[in-house]
Structure 1
Amino acid sequence: MVCRTAPTLSRPTGLALLTGLAAVAVGTLFASPALAQGGRESGGFDATLPSIATGAEIRSQADLWVMQVDFKPMRLAALPVTDPETGETARELVWYLVWRATNRPLQSPEKNTARTPQNQLDPPPAEPPFVPEFVLIGEDGSARQYRDVILPGVLPIIEQRELRGAFADVELNTTVSAAGDLPEGVAADAPPGEGAIYGVATWTGVDPATDRFTVLLNGFSNGYRIQTGPDGKPVTERRTGVLKFWRPGDEIDEVETEFRLGVDPRGDEPASAGVPHWEYLPDEVRDGDAEGDLQDAAGEGVRAEAVGGFGEN
């Protein structure tokens, strides 16, 4: 499969919050291009899940890699979706998240390291695969779990809205077309976008009553650890990106400008829980098959306070 990359861009001049979003109500395809793009220099990729790990993680897993993932605000729009079984096309409300992944050298509060095996005499038998996946977990409404769906027919429409100016030649991947060999490493001081893979995760049928939800990013790191489960048996936990969102609106008039990155300030979770971060999660939670509260199943998180969850890494 071919992973499409992007041109080199100039480094953003500062941190930008999630502003300048376009309002798209149900039945409206897109708002004005100027608002849809977001930050001019960053292209709207103003939030970051950084390439970061603790020294203990790096020491325990010599081949550890963690990608930097930049993403635009969560969007929703009424898009033409084709049923693969009937071939019929109908307009559906699609939730989507445009992302950009870069294979950066790991940052550690204890030391810096290259992503090469420490034992040069025994190289890995093959390059590790890059297989991205997104799972959206609703925390209210029907509290359903949704895997991203593959909608190649809507990619040109989303590209026209989201990728303008310096990004006009970039083509978005689905999570299937993005899969392949792990991308080549990119220097930590390289401009944003150099050597990056661009893609979009799309969801349909999301309960309109969902006001609080979590998006899990699988496949952007090979980190794992073995823990002892409640029954005494070993449990494999894998490094997973965690993004939390909330919106103050209702299901009657869904508008994308109501999406907020972080946790609902009216709830009990601290604001720090809403910063994009990494957690070690059991496979059944990552796959969206587990019942119960996500936080109860989550392992010790690797928070992204080093960059505050926004802007440059």
Structure 2
Amino acid sequence: MIALPSTAAARPGHRGHVTNRSAGWWLSGLLVLCGPAASVIAQNGADVKDPSQQVQTPFAAGVLIEIPPAPKPEETNSGPFPMSELEQMHPEIAWQGEAYPEGKPHFQAASRTLARRAQSVTLRREIYCLEFSFKPLRQIFADVPAPGGQTQRKLVTYMVFRLRYRGNDLRPATERVGDADLYERIEAVSYPSKRGFPILELVNRETGRRVIDRLLPSVKEQITRREQIVVPLYNTVEIGRQKIPLSRDPEAPGVWGLATWTDVDPDIDFLSVDVFGLTNAFEIDDLGSDSQYRRKALSLNFFRPGDAVNPTEDKIRFGVPPYSNPIDQQVILDKYGLEERLDYRWIFR
């Protein structure tokens, strides 16, 4: 078993234990005392809250793995970059031509002209990052829709996850000095809620093949029963329509989601799940039309110590497998593209 890092420690879901006998007496008394009031509240639709905000799905310690948000101050800006294409498309901003024989503006210093300022442009933005918690990957056989309106029995790999918004978004703080804005510090801000738009890619670390999660509404109920989920469970499209309320309570329920994959190699041993859409942070190389745009994603590493004979019984473990032999360990690290053993990391891709 791999020891999880402190940043990925799970929180216990149960607070106590009640015997069957004492629970029966307690429940009987509760029904007598609260039955009428409860029925009135249930009949009043305005007082009924979203179940995802009332009930927390409890799990044993270590079952739910929590990854805290990790926004960084340097992600609030990009550059400075030259906007070379601006002058190419609008040469008039360079103060050239018969009207400006000396190439100078009439009323502004050359350093204040658009052409000069376009030579060094810094892009600034506000960034957020959601907390991501998950249950380890599992597999199940299910009837999946196939072309022609038929169903096909397939092995489905899935992950149950939870999103929570903890606030503390980062943005550049503006200070006005004279007629210029200075950005010398970063401030933290929070909002009543955020939305998450997760896209989960399953990566085969041996072949490099990537599989994007597939929407399987017919399988969701089967997985919900197996995982004993008592709150609404949304697929990766539905969850984008749900507001994730701000909460710093460690027991906050959050919003729960489900990602499913099919046609995953049954012999896969080393794999990762890259989660996009938890943050709006990104990287770019320049401002050209062919510039590379890379989104920040959470990369979770897994391994499966089993075979393809009975895949639903194999445990897909979180982390990178440890080896006592340094040579063997390096071979495994190379498969994950790592220099050291990491259960997870934030990447730009």
Pair in the same fold by TM > 0.5: yes
Correspondence list, 1:196-235, <5 A: 196-227=254-285, 234-235=291-292
* TM-score, with length taken from structure 1: 0.63
Q: 1:114 — aligned with what? A: 189
Correspondence list, 1:269-284, <5 A: 269=333, 273-281=341-349
2:202 to 123, 132, 136: 136
Is 1:187–2:255 an aligned residue pair?
Answer: no
- Three-state SS of the structure 2 residue aligned to 1:178 is helix
> Number of residue pairs matched?
229
Structure of larger gyration radius? 2
Give the conservation status (yes or no) of the 8 Å contact 1:98–1:201: yes
1:7 to 51, 54, 61: 54
CA RMSD of aligned residues (A): 3.3
Give the conservation status (yes or no) of the 8 Å contact 2:128–2:169: no
Structure 1 residues 256, 135: closer, same or farther in 2, change over 3 A?
farther
- Three-state SS of the structure 2 residue aligned to 1:113 is strand
Q: 2:69 — aligned with what? A: 51
1:177 to 238, 243, 253: 238
Displacement after TM superposition at 1:79 (Å): 1.3
Identity %: 25
- 1:244-297 CA-to-partner distances (Å, cap 9, x unmatched) read 11112222332454311111324322695432232121xxxxxxxxxxxxxxxx
Distance in 1 between residues matched to 2:312 and 2:318, nearest whole Å: 15
Is 1:93–2:113 an aligned residue pair?
Answer: no
Correspondence list, 1:13-32, <5 A: none
2:232 alignment partner AA: E
Distance in 1 between residues matched to 2:341 and 2:347, nearest whole Å: 11
| Higher percent of residues as helix | 2
Distance in 2 between residues matched to 1:280 and 1:66, nearest whole Å: 14
2:153 alignment partner AA: R
- 1:121-158 CA-to-partner distances (Å, cap 9, x unmatched) read xxxxxx98632211111012x54221111100111111
Give the conservation status (yes or no) of the 8 Å contact 2:141–2:312: no
Which region of structure 1 is more displaced relative to structure 2, 55-64 or 147-156?
Answer: 55-64
- 1:187-213 CA-to-partner distances (Å, cap 9, x unmatched) read 32x13343x221111011111121111
Displacement after TM superposition at 1:62 (Å): 4.3
1:139 alignment partner AA: R
Is 1:65–2:131 an aligned residue pair?
Answer: no
Q: 1:294 — aligned with what? A: none
Distance in 1 between residues matched to 2:77 and 2:167, nearest whole Å: 15
Give the conservation status (yes or no) of the 8 Å contact 1:69–1:99: yes
Displacement after TM superposition at 1:112 (Å): 7.2
* TM-score, with length taken from structure 2: 0.57
1:151 alignment partner AA: L
- Three-state SS of the structure 2 residue aligned to 1:205 is coil
